[in-house]
Amino acid sequence: MEESFWPMIDDLMFAHIMYTNKEYLIEIVSYITKIPKKLLKI
Amino acid sequence: MIYVDTNLKEENRNIKHQRSDIVIKVNDNTICNLEMNKDYYESYLVKNISYLFTLHNQDNMSGIKYSVGDVYVQINFDNFGKFGHKLINEYRLKEISSGEDYPIDRIKIYHIKLDYLQNKEYTKSENIKFIKYLKLMSAKNYGEALEIVKGGDKIMHEVFNEMMRYAKKLPFGYRDVEYEEMLLRNTFKDEAKKEDAKAMLRKGYPVEDIKDITGLPKKEIEKLKEIEKE
């Protein structure tokens, strides 16, 4: 795999990743804001 | 938690190119706005804050009612080293001389300094997952991302695959077989190298020689040496 395939993340890609990977979003938001994961998963 | 439509109402669309990156609503009263800031430009802070206050002022977006008790959280992921002195920087309104908090905590702003991850070693076990998640977001090339995701959890692998799919404009659900095979090959290759290094350590080879022969990093060999001693 060539390195050039790797995308530098921009806002559109960021939004796409966060929409398609809810668990990833939950882990990150919970760690930063200290909102319990349980609340975010509802 | 639900995802909220990030488009502002018609009358507010002159703000922040009409939309944010991600807005989620947690519980009944917390709105989180997440922004990826790839490049620094002077007005980005004003634009992001304007968006947050517009959310606050907008009483109805996509059918969701906002009320007086709502908390508004903005998380900025900054992929440049402009300001902030640690990984997670939290900003609030304060009285200048006493440092007393302004008596509202409804607006919370975080700046995540992604470039901070490049030079810092993180050893606290409770942080490792979070650090790896953020590092994946700021990886500079394929090799770096692969290194981060190796030994990562299912969520990281899914994000990695999604990033590849996105970059190559491949349909959702596509699996990068080439990547998965490479990951397996690399994992096995590393395991084999470690076994070789352990055998050499038992025979008393110097660390420098093992490094030259196996190609493993010195730190890794020293870790193995400690394990062998135990």
* Residue of B43 and B188 predicted with greater confidence: B43
For B166-191, what is the mean pLDDT? 62
Structural domain range at position B36: 1-120
Chain A nearest C-alpha distance from B140 (Å): 7
The confidence band for B18, taking pLDDT boundaries of 50, 70 and 90, is very low
Nearest C-alpha neighbor of B106 from the set B65, B60, B62, B55:
B55
- B179 in reach of chain A (CB within 8 A): yes
Mean pLDDT split into 10-residue runs, chain A, 42 residues: 63 84 93 90 72
Is residue B163 domain-resident? no
**Contact at CB, A6 and B6, closer than 8 angstroms:** no
- B71 in reach of chain A (CB within 8 A): no
Does the pLDDT value for residue B177 go beyond 70? no
For residue A38 the two structure tokens come to: 């349980």
Is residue B14 domain-resident? yes
Interface of A with B in 6-35 (CB under 8 A): 6-11, 13-29, 31-33, 35
* Residue of B81 and A21 predicted with greater confidence: A21
**Contact at CB, B142 and A2, closer than 8 angstroms:** yes
Does the pLDDT value for residue B174 go beyond 60? no
- Asked if B21 contacts A11 with a C-beta cutoff of 8 angstroms, the reply is yes
Is residue B89 domain-resident? yes
Is residue B69 domain-resident? yes
Domain count, chain B: 1
For B129-141, what is the mean pLDDT? 86
- B35 in reach of chain A (CB within 8 A): yes
Does the pLDDT value for residue B21 go beyond 80? no
* pLDDT per residue as tens digits for the range B90-113: 988 788 898 887 766 678 899 999
Is residue B71 domain-resident? yes
Is residue B24 domain-resident? yes
The confidence band for B119, taking pLDDT boundaries of 50, 70 and 90, is low
pLDDT value for B197: 86
For residue B60, count CB atoms less than 10 angstroms from its CB and return exposed for 0-12, middle for 13-18, buried for 19 or more: exposed
Is residue B80 domain-resident? yes
ipTM at complex level: 0.88
- Which residue in B3, B21, B179 is closest to A1 by CB distance? B179
Nearest C-alpha neighbor of B63 from the set B129, B9, B132, B119:
B9
Is residue B181 domain-resident? no
pLDDT value for B226: 85
**Contact at CB, A15 and B6, closer than 8 angstroms:** yes
Buried b (16+ CB within 10 A) or exposed e, B82-109: eebeebbbeeeeeeeeeeeeeeeeebbb
